[in-house]
Amino acid sequence: MVRLHVVVVCSVVGFLGLVLVILGVASEAATAQALVPDELDIDGFNVNCVYRTTPALGCGIVAALLALTAQIAVTTTSLLCGCCRTWELPTTTRHIVGIVLSVVSWIIVIIVVALFLAGAAMNTDQKRQLTADKKCPVDPGSALFAAATVFSLVATGLQIASYVLLLATPKGSTKPLATQQQTEVAMGQPVQLEPRQDADEVVAGGDPLPPSAPPLSRATEPTSKV
């Protein structure tokens, strides 16, 4: 049975990933509003294109913060509920894969944050030079937002996968011996007990101890002569 907090965490991470996609698409569409049409800044022989601030600035900053928040939340929850629950280093393949996915997701999230912030910085009031074909870039930062949106989807999948893998506890790694024996008995498996030593123990020299003489009963006790 899937635990409730697993469903909650995965749902929250998936929702934040969906929000990141929406913000990325909205930012990419807003870049078309940055260029001020039919307006050039002519300074001698230098001709610059004029750009204004667009909603992509706010969307990019919010998206970067949400991506970082989701990654921190998943990592913290995994450490508290899964990976370090037994205060031991995970040794199973399942946990090792989960740690690798978590590290990769951190790297991708850092790239996502950098792309969103770079795209947002290109959608502020500024002046840019003409391109090689003497034209003004219509949508500055559009490629950055598109790449950040794709990477955010990949990061969301890795976050959910790493959380689920790190949450599992290796079988038999943290159970005490008594608990394992009780589990085996409950499942109908025989428990192997340690063999007891025989009554006739072997002494240090190698000869067995002589058997003890049975005690005399009252009927066989010698009577005292008067």
Distance between CA atoms of residues 25 and 58, nearest Å: 13
208 inside domain: no
Location of structure tokens 């996968």: 161
User: Would you state the structure tokens that stand for residue 206, as one six-digit string?
Assistant: 């190698």
The pLDDT of residue 80 is 74
CA-angle at 114, arms to 111 and 115, nearest 5°:
85
Domain carrying residue 147 = 4-168
Instruction: Please tell me the predicted confidence (pLDDT) of residue 141.
Output: 86
Say if 111 falls within a structural domain.
yes
Residue 130 lies in a domain: yes
pLDDT for position 131: 74
At 113 the pLDDT is 96
Decide if 220 is inside a domain.
Answer: no
* Amino acid of residue 46: N
Non-local CB neighbours of 47 within 8 Å, separated by 6+ positions = 40, 41, 129, 130
Record the pTM: 0.67
How high is the mean pLDDT in each 10-residue block of the chain (226 residues)? 74 91 92 82 76 91 94 84 49 80 94 94 85 78 92 93 75 44 50 50 50 52 48
β-bridge pairing 126-129 and 35-43: unpaired
Contact assessment for residue 83 and residue 98, using Cβ atoms and an 8 Å cutoff = yes
* 128 located within any domain: yes
| Amino acid, single-letter form, for residue 106 | W
The domain total for the chain is 1
Q: Tell me if 96 is assigned to some domain.
A: yes
Q: Report pLDDT for 154.
A: 94
What is the signed CA dihedral for 182, 187, 190, 192, rounded to 10 degrees?
-40
Report if residue 175 sits inside a domain.
Answer: no
pLDDT score for 87:
43
- The DSSP annotation for the chain comes to ---HHHHHHHHHHHHHHHHHHHHHHHHHHHGGGSEEEEEEEEETTEEEEEE---THHHHHHHHHHHHHHHHHHHHHHHIIIIITTTSS---SHHHHHHHHHHHHHHHHHHHHHHHHHHHHHTTSSEEEE--TTS---SSTTHHHHHHHHHHHHHHHHHHHHHHHHHHPPPTTTS--HHHHHHHHHHTTPPPPPPPPPPSS-B-TTSPBPPPPPPPPPGGGSPPPP-
Q: Measuring CA to CA, which residue among 82, 60, 58, 73 is closest to residue 11?
A: 73
